[in-house]
Amino acid sequence: METDEKQLILKAQNGNLQAFKMLVEQNKMNIYQLAYNLTRNKEDAEDVTQEVFIKAFRSISKFRGDSKFSTWLYRITVNTSLSLKKRYKIVDIKSEENMDLAYKSELNQNHSIEFNPEKLAESMFIKKHINNALSKLSKLEKTVFVLKNYDELNYDEIQTITNLKSGTLRSLNFRAIKKLQIALDIFSDRKKSEAVNG
Amino acid sequence: MDSCKSIKKYFEKALDNELNEKELEIFNEHLTNCNKCQTEFLELLEVKHFMKDSNTIESNDTFLDNLWDKIEPELILAETKEKPNYFEIIKGFIFNNNRKIIQYSTAFAILFIGIFIGRYYLPEENKNLPITEQNIIADNSQNESIDLDVKPKENIDILKPTSQPNKVTYKTVSDDPAAKFVSRSKILLMGLVNFDPTTDDIDAINMQKQKEISRGLILQAADIKKKLTKPSQQQLKDLINDLEVILLQIANLESEYNLDGIDLVKDGVDKRNIFLKININEMQKTSSPKQKQEYKKSI
């Protein structure tokens, strides 16, 4: 852990809000991305991100420096994301209409995508099926897959976050990839059929 | 050349780029010569890359820029919240509610005395029963036969109450500690054995609870075996020994999501033919009136 970060953590543990603010600024992007990858929903990701930092502040005195501060935050993020699902009514994501409206709304708010109907449609299509594929995974499989492949953490770090053995983590990641393969096979068949039919 | 089955064990590590030099050499050599494995592996790799490359997270600068403003009030609240002074609360309660205090105190005193008497006079054989399951005891002392068509938990044992105060008698088969032990162990094992990691979510198994139940059962096993002294009870005693071994494995599983440990338990159950032995034990108890009579005498 860098000395600057160590000092910030010590100050935050003594109740220094400005020090904690700097820690938030340094980590907010990564936490939001992880929250989004786990929840696959912008609003949920925002809620999780806020809750993570509030929880982190409340329990920062318990952080002993055994792991990186970001790893500790990741752990809180994973736990918060997993418990978030239980509070929300599970929307039937197989409802095509709901998915289409949700994605259109989300993408329309993103001004960084150049307005191009074909690109928009393609992007929506892929995103819809990635989310659908990820929904086939169990909570643990998704968590491990996301941490390993999106956040590119090594298994030691993931072990710290999840408290699972590295053998179990490897199995979970491999199972996730195999399940995704099955889910995406259906997607590629549908894509070919849509391409043919127009 | 290594077989396809043994090469597939490398797939996991290969996808994570964790093969060592020797393993990589073997792996590449096999894939060069085996189109089937090559195709299979490349498909998995493609899935991994596709998921990674296609994953887009729309920027949310507005939210991230305003994040601190949103959470700061909560943090200040957390910082300044005073801890309640419990002494003052209790003091105020006592001075304002004398009569109620006396009533509540009396009620609690009676409750504690009742608990103390109950613990002191509680029969020995009931003490080790797990509190996580209900013990249903049917009082059917007037019935003279066991109805085979009735479901096991409703079976009625016709042991007549004895005039000898020291002899332990069971009004029903379900009173028998050994039978209860076997039944509970069976339920526990079925839950684990039927778990399929390829289709079931491991969160569905409450591993911590399974371990607690296993520990409870292990504690009972020793006492139960001590009472099985007759030759006709040797088979039951052997079964309890086998169950003890499996229960120990479950109790010692290292973490909640130990898939390897669960596989080990399943192997143990298979190798020892646990379910077969349990079924034989159950059949012997309910098969014929003559055998039931023998069972009664043995108790």
Question: Testing the interface with B: which of A59, A181, A182 to mutate, by most B Cβ within 10 A?
Answer: A181
Chain A window 69-88: which residues touch B at a Cβ cutoff of 8 Å? none
Find the closest chain B residue to A26 by CA distance: B64
> Which of these, B263, B255, B51, lies nearest to A136 by C-alpha position?
B51
Predicted local distance difference test score (pLDDT) of residue B89: 65
Alpha-carbon distance B4 to B37, whole Å? 7
Please report, as a single letter, which amino acid is at residue B205: I
CA distance, residue B15 to nearest chain A CA (Å): 8
Indicate if the pLDDT at residue A22 is higher than 90: yes
Q: Is B144 on the interface with A (CB under 8 A)?
A: no
Record the tokens describing residue A19, joined without a space.
């020090």
Task: Out of B55, B64, B258, name the one closest to residue A28 (CB).
Answer: B64
Task: Out of A54, A113, A177, name the one closest to residue B44 (CB).
Answer: A177
Q: Which letter does DSSP use for residue B160 in this model? A: P
Question: In chain B, where does DSSP find H-type helix?
Answer: 4-8, 11-15, 21-33, 35-54, 61-80, 86-96, 98-121, 177-193, 207-227, 234-251, 259-271, 274-286, 289-298
Q: What is the largest CA-CA distance in chain B?
A: 90
Q: Is A177 on the interface with B (CB under 8 A)?
A: yes
HSE-CB for A110 with a 13 A CA cutoff: 19
Digitized pLDDT (tens) for each residue of chain B, 299 residues in all: 458 888 988 999 999 888 999 999 999 999 999 999 999 999 999 999 888 888 777 777 888 899 999 999 888 887 776 455 566 667 666 666 677 788 888 899 999 999 988 888 776 554 454 444 444 333 334 444 434 444 444 444 444 444 444 445 554 555 688 888 999 999 999 888 887 665 566 566 678 888 888 999 998 898 898 888 888 888 888 899 999 999 998 888 865 556 777 888 888 888 888 888 888 888 877 655 665 566 556 54
Buried b (16+ CB within 10 A) or exposed e, A174-194: bbbbbbbbebbeebeeeeeee
Alpha-carbon distance B274 to B80, whole Å? 60
B257/A149 CB distance under 8 A = no
How many contacts does A have with B, using Cβ atoms within 8 A? 112
Q: Is A25 on the interface with B (CB under 8 A)?
A: yes
pTM assigned to the model: 0.53
Q: Which chain B positions have a beta carbon within 8 Å of A107's beta carbon?
A: 58
Q: Which chain A positions have a beta carbon within 8 Å of B203's beta carbon?
A: 138-140
B202/A177 CB distance under 8 A = no
Asked if the interface predicted TM-score (ipTM) of this complex is over 0.85, the answer is no
Q: Is B53 on the interface with A (CB under 8 A)?
A: no
Reported confidence tier of residue A71, pLDDT bands at 50, 70, 90: very high
Q: Is B259 on the interface with A (CB under 8 A)?
A: yes
B58/A33 CB distance under 8 A = no
Rounded to 10 degrees, what is the CA torsion of B282, B283, B287, B289? -30
B67/A24 CB distance under 8 A = yes
